[in-house]
Amino acid sequence: MEKHQKSCILLVFVILLHVACLSFSIGLQHRITWSIQPNKDFYTNWSNKHFFKIGDTLVFQFQSEFYNVLQVSKRDYDVCNGENTVQVFLNGPAVVALNREGVFYFICNFSNYCLFGLKISITVHRNFSVKPPFLQPASLPPASMQPPAPATVDSTQPPANINAPSNESENSKRSSGSVVTFSGWSWILCLVVFLVHY
């Protein structure tokens, strides 16, 4: 009877440990440098390479004197209208809690920056029921695809922070994968301990 009681306690411990490990995967932070980029589709491409879920946060890093972040509706996003905002962030870094499933739309309404591509839409998923894009095999562009023409930038604009995609986005990918791997291995380890004790 005592052996059965110890086994039950160990099983409860294993289940609690597994739940605790899974909780580490909640709340991933995605950082993005918010500035005019040479490629107008930079932020669309960045968003498509990341998997966002409820509980994550999006951190916009920007210089407050040159940029802002406005959360807007899809209609306002499409036409770069910053008059009917959901939220306004005037000081960087701006931290946005992704607290519901759906699509979030953000623009910058300084000058005509939004028209130059300084806007992003983020699709937030409920969980990992959709395979994260960074775990899917990359598709190659068609051979006939021409590189995009360089964007012309108004000389009255402040100098753009033209950065290569930062290692921060790579770190967020690694963090997510590491958490899932850690959770999987911890579950297996706990199961082995349970079986050895039983």
- Write out pLDDT tens, residues 155-179: 334 434 333 334 344 444 434 443 4
Question: In the prediction, which pLDDT does 82 show?
Answer: 95
- What's the confidence (pLDDT) of residue 167? 38
Q: Tell me if 77 sits within 8 A of 107, measured CB to CB.
A: yes
| 42, 117 contact by CB (below 8 A) | yes
Taking CA atoms, 182 is separated from 22, 51, 187, 189, in Å, by: 9, 19, 9, 10
Domain boundaries, the chain: 2-129+166-197
Which pLDDT does position 15 carry in this prediction? 61
CATH class of 2-129+166-197: mainly beta
Q: What is the pTM of this model?
A: 0.57
Position 28 confidence tier, pLDDT thresholds 50, 70, 90: confident
